[in-house]
Amino acid sequence: MKRVSIYLMAGQKTPELAAAAVAGGADLLEIGFPFSDPLADGPVIRLAGERALAEGMRTQACLECLAETRSRVDVPLIPMTYASLLEAYGYERFRDDAAVAGATSFIVADLPLEAAPELPRIQLVAPTTPTERIRLAAERTDGWLYLVSLTGTTGTRDTVSGQLAGLVERARAVTDVPLLAGFGIATAEQAAAAAELTDGVVVGSRAVEIAAREGVEGLERYVRSLRTAVDERAASPAS
Amino acid sequence: MTSTGYFGPYGGRYVPETLVPALDELERGWQEVRDDPGFALELEGLQRDYVGRPTPLYRTERLAEEKAVYLKREDLCHTGAHKINNALGQALIARRLGKRRIVAETGAGQHGVAAATVCARFGLECVVYMGSEDMARQAPNVERMRLLGAEVTSVEFGTRTLKEATSEAIRDWITNVETTHYMIGSCVGPHPYPELVGELQAVIGREAREQILEVEGRLPDAVVACVGGGSNAIGLFAGFVDDPEVRLIGVEAAGAASLGTGRAGVLHGARSSLLADDDGQIADAHSISAGLDYPGVGPEHAFLRDSGRAEYLPATDDEALVAFHLLAEREGIIPALEPAHALARALELEADLILVGLSGRGDKDLATVLAR
């Protein structure tokens, strides 16, 4: 089955939102630990991060949020953050404390492949990544490979990036690990189209927007729409 | 990460994966041009005929009574600051890499003007990101950039200063990496930028060393330069770093003392000393001088601090203003507010022979100074 991963920014409502996303059909959840200067993020997640920080979501509060989320859902939980938080907290300490709080892996947006081997994590590869480097990332990744579907920051786009198909093809040629595509995937149609090429999708900015605007019920509806579209397309592929 | 690109524990490449191949490409391109006598010849020719190098080393007359204070006059460079040294070199590299579009960040506007200038000279498209707070306090430089044909994009979030402008320039680069060269303005950012910018600015120190030896027959007791990101200081220090008898002193804005009061962290692609809280969240910097108003600093400075080779001292807004007026009234030179910080500390030093990096001229700061 294709996987649907939903990104939520850590915050007071996150455990409840996480439960709703899982009820809607999310297979895994990424929990954003906000950073003041998130280079890989577009405006939606940057603003969500600013709000979370203003609300006091520092590393310790994020770990508590993670533990609380873990008590509500049993899907994989993956903190997604930036190196500066780990530098301050300590990489190994973060790895251990986050695992105790229920994390199953990590994503660090600005930590390249070669850095911090003591923190097993999901590696990201982009359309610009040379194939040899994709192979290396696949060897080192923790479970699945995150395909950044476009050259750009997180955020919604009108269509699925034309760069994704080529990236998938190059990745498939060098690895058997599952490939999940993220960045620029927002609508059910986009999720279905991207999942058709891959083993699943990651949806961030639009999920964060809907969670803020429509709350728990809206998020569950939205995730269900993604789930349904992805599953239907998998059952009867578009010609 | 490999050992390349590190100054002790500082430096490296902390960037989204999309940029890694572009940094590899830049590093290769930089290594090629470094070994290419044709590049050196072209750069030297342009430094002489276009920038106006070598810049003078001027012995102040009325500024200090009991000691000799020399100013390395980078304010006399074309565009009024040392920033052109770096911009020119990077434009040549971008051209060689086949990149026709340049993005840059700017704080005080001096790097933005330098970038816009060299882009005009080489026929490159130029987009400059600038915080809206800085656009207000450095309005003449915004007009200059536009006159030179650059697009100045206002950054309206966070502190609305250099930190956010840099983040936005990097986000643009992530998005347009295949056509675009990121012309970073200081010795900060991911490898190879700190090294590349440092080498392009090292011309300041090479000239200054030769000049002081010629007029004084000896090396200075102390070399003093202001430090925001730290490119003029790293360039000036480069001429003296191997002379242990010369004190190297960097002067930071007291409200932006990344080296004096900072901690190790990661910002804008490098590990360095930063203004950050216990959780690694970047703190706001405060300085009257837009060019020093940055919570990070080049990784090589963090290394020079730890090794003890260089010292870093703070100067307050008020101290910089006093030095600004003093240089104007006693020497007929209006400095930028950034090097006025260096001057403030230099004048107190107990040393006979002091060399100060006068990194830029103060026309851009008149409104700020007059408003005080």
Q: Is the domain of B161 the same as that of B109?
A: yes
Instruction: Give the mutation candidate from A87, A93, A114 for the B interface (greatest B CB count, under 10 A).
Output: A87
Q: Is the domain of B284 the same as that of B139?
A: no
Rg (CA), chain B: 19
Interface of chain A toward chain B, CB-CB under 8 angstroms: 35-37, 39-40, 42, 46, 50, 53, 58-60, 82-89, 109-115, 123-130, 133, 137, 148, 151-153
Q: Is B72 designated active site? A: no
Nearest chain B residue to A41 by CA: give it: B171
At A237, the pLDDT band (50, 70, 90 cuts) reads confident
Peptide bond connecting B192 to the previous residue in cis, omega within 30 degrees of 0 = yes
Q: Is the domain of B77 the same as that of B141?
A: no
Rounded to the nearest 10°, the torsion over CA B178, B182, B188, B192 is 50
Q: Is the pLDDT of residue B346 over 60?
A: yes
Is there a domain that residue B213 lies in?
yes
Beta-carbon contacts below 8 Å between A and B: 122
Rounded to whole angstroms, how far apart are CA atoms B35 and B46?
18
DSSP-derived 3-state class of residue B43: helix
Task: Report the mean per-residue pLDDT for chain A.
Answer: 96
At B210, the pLDDT band (50, 70, 90 cuts) reads very high
User: Given this model, what pLDDT does residue A59 score?
Assistant: 98
Task: Report the mean per-residue pLDDT for chain B.
Answer: 96
Q: Is the domain of B255 the same as that of B321?
A: yes
Closest to B370 (Cα-Cα) out of B315, B316, B319, B324? B324
DSSP-derived 3-state class of residue B321: helix
Rounded to whole angstroms, how far apart are CA atoms A218 and B242?
64
Neighboring chain A residues of B265 at a CB cutoff of 8 Å: 84, 87-88
CB A24 within 8 A of CB A219: yes
Express as a percent the part of chain A with pLDDT over 90.
96
User: Given this model, what pLDDT does residue B195 score?
Assistant: 97
Neighboring chain B residues of A49 at a CB cutoff of 8 Å: none
Distance of CA B75 to the CA centre of its chain: 13
Q: Is B105 designated active site? A: yes
Cross-chain Cβ contact A109/B16 below 8 Å:
yes
B176 touches chain A (CB under 8 A): yes
- Using CA atoms, how far residue A5 sits from A151, A207, A223, B77, in Å, is 20, 10, 9, 54
At B272-318, the pLDDT tens digits run 999 999 999 999 999 999 889 999 999 999 999 999 999 999 999 99
Closest to A89 (Cα-Cα) out of A121, A51, A116, A50? A116
Catalytic residue, chosen from A27, A30, A132, A231, is A30
Rounded to whole angstroms, how far apart are CA atoms B179 and A50?
31
ipTM of the complex: 0.95
Entry pTM: 0.95
Q: Where on the phi/psi map is residue A112: left (φ > 0), alpha (ψ -120 to 50), or beta?
A: beta
User: Given this model, what pLDDT does residue B65 score?
Assistant: 86
Q: Is the domain of B228 the same as that of B334?
A: yes
Q: Is B210 designated active site? A: no
User: Given this model, what pLDDT does residue A238 score?
Assistant: 67
Rounded to whole angstroms, how far apart are CA atoms A221 and A237?
23
Owning domain of residue B113: 7-44+83-193
Instruction: Give the mutation candidate from B155, B160, B188, B266 for the A interface (greatest A CB count, under 10 A).
Output: B266
Amino acid occupying residue A43: P
CB A175 within 8 A of CB A167: no
> Total structural domains in chain B?
2
Catalytic residue, chosen from B72, B83, B99, B364, is B83
Is there a domain that residue B1 lies in?
no
Cross-chain Cβ contact B266/A84 below 8 Å:
yes
Catalytic residue, chosen from A16, A27, A37, A41, is A41
- Using CA atoms, how far residue B334 sits from B52, B127, B236, B325, in Å, is 19, 29, 20, 8
Q: What are phi and psi of A79, to 5 degrees?
A: -65, 135
At B241, the pLDDT band (50, 70, 90 cuts) reads very high
User: Given this model, what pLDDT does residue B235 score?
Assistant: 98
Question: Averaged over A30-43, what is the pLDDT?
Answer: 96
Structure tokens at A62: 């994020």
Q: Is the domain of B176 the same as that of B233?
A: no
Neighboring chain B residues of A130 at a CB cutoff of 8 Å: 21
Q: What are phi and psi of A145, to 5 degrees?
A: -110, 135
Q: Is the pLDDT of residue B82 over 90?
A: yes
Residue after which a domain boundary falls, among B168, B193, B218:
B193
Q: Is B332 exposed, middle or buried (0-12, 13-18, 19+ CB in 10 A)?
A: exposed
User: Given this model, what pLDDT does residue B137 score?
Assistant: 81
Which of A42, A53, A124 comes nearest B17 by C-beta? A124
- Which of the 8 DSSP states describes residue B108? S
Spatial strand order of the sheet with A28-32 comes to: A107-108, A77-81, A28-32, A3-9, A200-203, A179-182, A145-148, A124-125
User: Given this model, what pLDDT does residue B1 score?
Assistant: 36
Residue after which a domain boundary falls, among B193, B222, B243:
B193
Neighboring chain A residues of B277 at a CB cutoff of 8 Å: 88
The CATH number of the domain holding residue B167 is: 3.40.50.1100
B50 touches chain A (CB under 8 A): no
Q: Is the domain of B174 the same as that of B243?
A: no
Neighboring chain A residues of B12 at a CB cutoff of 8 Å: 115
Is there a domain that residue B198 lies in?
no
At B87-142, the pLDDT tens digits run 999 999 999 999 999 999 999 899 999 999 999 999 999 999 999 999 988 888 99
Is there a domain that residue B2 lies in?
no
The CATH number of the domain holding residue A10 is: 3.20.20.70
Express as a percent the part of chain B with pLDDT over 70.
99
Owning domain of residue A185: 3-235
CB B209 within 8 A of CB B309: no
Cross-chain Cβ contact A148/B16 below 8 Å:
yes
Q: Hey, which bits of chain B come out as E strands? A: 6-7, 10-11, 57-59, 68-73, 101-106, 125-131, 151-155, 180-182, 222-226, 247-253, 263-267, 270-274, 310-315, 353-358
Cross-chain Cβ contact B280/A113 below 8 Å:
no
Which of B12, B18, B163 comes nearest A37 by C-beta? B163
User: Given this model, what pLDDT does residue B108 score?
Assistant: 84
Rounded to the nearest 10°, the torsion over CA A184, A187, A191, A192 is -140
> Total structural domains in chain A?
1
Q: Is the pLDDT of residue A232 over 90?
A: yes
* Angstroms from A15 CA to nearest CA on chain B: 22
Q: Is the domain of B251 the same as that of B154?
A: no
CB atoms within 10 A of CB B350: 9
Q: Is the domain of B157 the same as that of B226?
A: no
CB A50 within 8 A of CB A28: no
Residue after which a domain boundary falls, among B193, B224, B254:
B193
At A175-193, the pLDDT tens digits run 999 999 999 999 999 999 9
Q: Is the domain of B248 the same as that of B342?
A: yes
Q: Is the pLDDT of residue A140 over 90?
A: yes
Q: Is the pLDDT of residue B3 over 50?
A: no
Peptide bond connecting B295 to the previous residue in cis, omega within 30 degrees of 0 = no
Structure tokens at A33: 């630990």
Q: Is the domain of B146 the same as that of B16?
A: yes
Q: Is the domain of B245 the same as that of B102?
A: no
Q: Is the pLDDT of residue A166 over 60?
A: yes
Is there a domain that residue B101 lies in?
yes
Q: Hey, which bits of B163-242 come out as E strands? A: 180-182, 222-226
At A149, the pLDDT band (50, 70, 90 cuts) reads very high
Measured on CA atoms in the order B334, B338, B344, B345, is the torsion positive or negative? negative
Q: Is the pLDDT of residue B2 over 50?
A: no
